[in-house]
Amino acid sequence: MKKTSFNTGWTCNGQPVTLPHDAMIHEKRDAKNPSGSAQAFFPGGAYVYEKTFTAPEGFENGHLVLEFEGVYKNARVSVNGKPAGGTAYGYIPFFINLDGLLKAGENVIRVECENRDQPDSRWYSGAGIYRPVWLWQVPAESIEPESVKISTVTIDPAVIRVQSPKPVTVEVEDISGEGTDFTLTIPNAKLWSAETPNLYTAHVTSGADSQDIPFGIRQITWDNKGLYVNGVPTLLRGGCVHHDSGILGAATYDEAEYRRVKMLKAAGFNAIRSSHNPCSRALLDACDKLGVYVMDEAWDMWYNHKNKYDYASQWRENYRSDLRAMVDRDYNHPSVILYSIGNEVSEPARDEGVEAAREMVSLLHEADPTRPVTGGFNLMIIASAKKGKGVYDEEGGGRDESGDKAMAGMNSTLFNMVTNMVGTGMNKSANSKKADEAVSPVMDALDICGYNYASGRYPLDGKLHPDRLIFGSETFPQDIAKNWEMVKKYPYLIGDFMWTAWDYLGEAGLGAWGYTPDSKGFNKPYPWLLADTGAMDILGDPNGELFLAQAAWGHLDAPKIAVQPINHDSKPAKMVWRGTNAIPSWSWRGCEGKKAVIEIYSCEPIVELFQDGKSLGRKKTKLCKAVFKTAYHPGRLEAVSFDASGREMGRSILTSADGALRLTVAPEVLEAGTGEIVYIPVSITDADGVVESNADSAAAVTVEGGELLAFGSANPRTEERFDAGKYTTYYGRALAVVRMGVGDLTVTASDGKMSASAVIKHK
């Protein structure tokens, strides 16, 4: 079996493109676009992709399959003018059987997709063939891609089970077996976990054909006392992650997913919730290699609309095949430890919705009995819907696809507006007996229960539901310290997934602490672009949200310093999905004498702050944080942490940029091969590399020896484009992403006054 890239030689609406390709990111944003703040005011569109290729020699004697990892949405594939298949859902992989459709010589593959009707998604979806495409050459009578399943039977001794629709021979190191359903004992096996992400390769042979399948030996078990990976009690330090790749839009590259997972793992996260759709294969591969657990989620909606043109209209006819496709793709990935059947749906308030949940759990158990099934359920939504006060209503009635108006209420935007007004008090909204009665039927159908914004239930459920295992599937980031104390206290509470681990496009301004007149309220107007929430911004730079989580998890050896932006004359309008807008910077030129709010994060009970060597006092930390106020002057901040006895435990320093400023171009790797993606931070710094946060300028980036894919900053409110090659830095930082050519690549940044270059060697 041969798998080859099928990503070059395409056109999109007549223009040459290389896949993966997000067509939506290249469209013109406009305040009048009906996608609104959810899709960041990008328009929808209709897209036609075509590729002409020559059928491989001997194709008549075998079997050719095209694999599409993701097309948004309503993909329709034709080959030489004949319909060949497709899929409605934009987030799952699908296969196209080319048998009988190809001819000798040139052939034309045509893919039509569209998201013209808006509003569609509740966040930025992207559009087009945004994930890779592969051509599989399968010899006659061989096995199909993704048809061999490998699971762990026991870990001591290590026994794996191999299942195949046709007889195969499997060799793992020097151990082999054959058949359609058999086991192999692996002596001295190295187990897979987040701490020890050991991977094996199964060499699978079927007749004259063979393929290599990576897998990990690991076992997931659970009871009402906890979740266990290989028998070890495991707590999930989780973050919710959207599917977009930041300034690249929705286009999914291996390097982009690996970079994000690597940075999250280094920051202390050991789990990712794919919000709110099946994640990419590239993300799973990265989590397998680096050791990060994955909660893979199927959908954001079932058959009730959240937005007028979302997937609800097509859900009923496709949900079973969607789940099977997700399982087929995920099965051999050890990082996947949870399947989620949805996010914040209201349907379980009715018997039909509960029955749908039970059916989906049963289907997943049948397809994969090795993993537990969960969901990210907002208990307040279900409890409200049970009382006839439905949440989702885009056409004046909250109808499901059967026309039921009993769920009438508010649309998804209005619900988020209400949530923002209620704030963290939402955590107690489902504590009542009636709320418990409303949510229990669907919770009882799950293996492990995911609670969105319902931390008030954590202390109660040990007595109310002693057999229930729960976790925070979506939580306010400012609650992480008190939530994590409960995670450590209650055995039945196995973790927390903050909203979010990484900022994303769309749901514009959801978490913003904004200083402009249009910053108030949830439904922010154009030109808001980013959600502006997350422990890391869309470039991957950390902020106080991350430092608070690290302190709560006990992952700080020294205190962390973050400073609320000083270069504003008014207080920010605050959204509830962010607990702080502080960043690790003490460099604010032109702000001398202004009040500075300094946040110190620590695992220790006491911290002391020094400004230019002078103590500003010692303070007790409250929920891992202490706040100091002082007048800003350039210089040096130093934080020191102490244990309860007064013993120094660690210290850290922030300094101001000193002297003349410059543009700094600093590639994250110095060598790359043809076609590889490279990230290149572009910053305004002093000679020592200290970033200046208040001297932003419009920079332009040019590339020789490669292709500039995107250039942008983490500014949540801007009219600038990521594909224009020009962008204004934000708090001194921007980022370029390039694709390597066949030789060395030179990238140059300039703002008209300053310029800098860097060379990435070809390997």
The pTM score is 0.96
Q: What is the DSSP letter of 194?
A: S
User: pLDDT confidence of 413, banded at 50, 70, 90?
Assistant: low
Flag whether pLDDT at 528 surpasses 50: yes
What pLDDT sits at residue 414?
Answer: 59
Q: Is the dihedral of CA 514, 516, 521, 525 positive or negative?
A: negative
What pLDDT sits at residue 410?
Answer: 44
Any alpha helices (H) in 296-350, and if so which ranges?
Answer: 312-330
Q: What is the DSSP letter of 571?
A: P
Average pLDDT, the chain: 95
List CB contacts of 757: < 8 A, sequence separation 6 or more.
665, 746, 747, 748, 749
The H or E element that residue 591 is part of is none
Averaged pLDDT for residues 95-101: 95
Flag whether pLDDT at 13 surpasses 70: yes
467-503 pLDDT, tens digit each? 999 999 999 999 999 999 999 999 999 999 999 999 9
The residue written with tokens 């894919």 in the block is: 709
Q: For the chain, what is the radius of gyration of the CA atoms?
A: 26
414-450 pLDDT, tens digit each? 567 667 667 778 889 899 999 999 999 999 999 999 9
SS3 category, 348: helix
What pLDDT sits at residue 421?
Answer: 64
Averaged pLDDT for residues 351-368: 98
689-709 pLDDT, tens digit each? 999 999 999 999 999 999 999
Query: What's the rounded Cα separation, in Å, for the pair 131 and 353?
Result: 32
Assess contact for 55 and 521: CB atoms under 8 A.
no
Assess contact for 469 and 87: CB atoms under 8 A.
no
Give backbone dihedrals phi and psi of 419, rounded to 5 degrees, phi first.
-60, -45
What pLDDT sits at residue 462?
Answer: 96
Task: Give whole-number Cα distances, 569 to 403, 445, 514, 596, 605, in Å.
Answer: 51, 52, 12, 11, 33
Share of the chain above pLDDT 70, in %: 96
529-581 pLDDT, tens digit each? 999 999 999 999 999 999 999 999 999 999 999 999 999 999 999 999 999 99
Averaged pLDDT for residues 724-753: 98
The residue written with tokens 């096995």 in the block is: 143
**Helices then strands (H, E): number in the chain?**
10, 44
The residue written with tokens 């379980």 in the block is: 348
List CB contacts of 415: < 8 A, sequence separation 6 or more.
381, 391, 392
What pLDDT sits at residue 58?
Answer: 78
Task: Select from 232, 211, 208 the least CA-distant residue to 222.
Answer: 232
Domains recognised in the chain with CATH numbers: 2-139 (2.60.120.260), 149-206 (no CATH), 221-519 (3.20.20.80), 554-655 (2.60.40.10), 662-762 (2.60.40.10)
Flag whether pLDDT at 322 surpasses 70: yes
Averaged pLDDT for residues 210-224: 97
Task: Select from 164, 184, 183, 166 the least CA-distant residue to 174.
Answer: 184
Flag whether pLDDT at 15 surpasses 70: yes
568-625 pLDDT, tens digit each? 999 999 999 999 999 999 999 999 999 999 999 999 999 999 999 999 999 999 999 9
Neighbours of 25 (CB within 10 A): 26
Flag whether pLDDT at 525 surpasses 90: yes
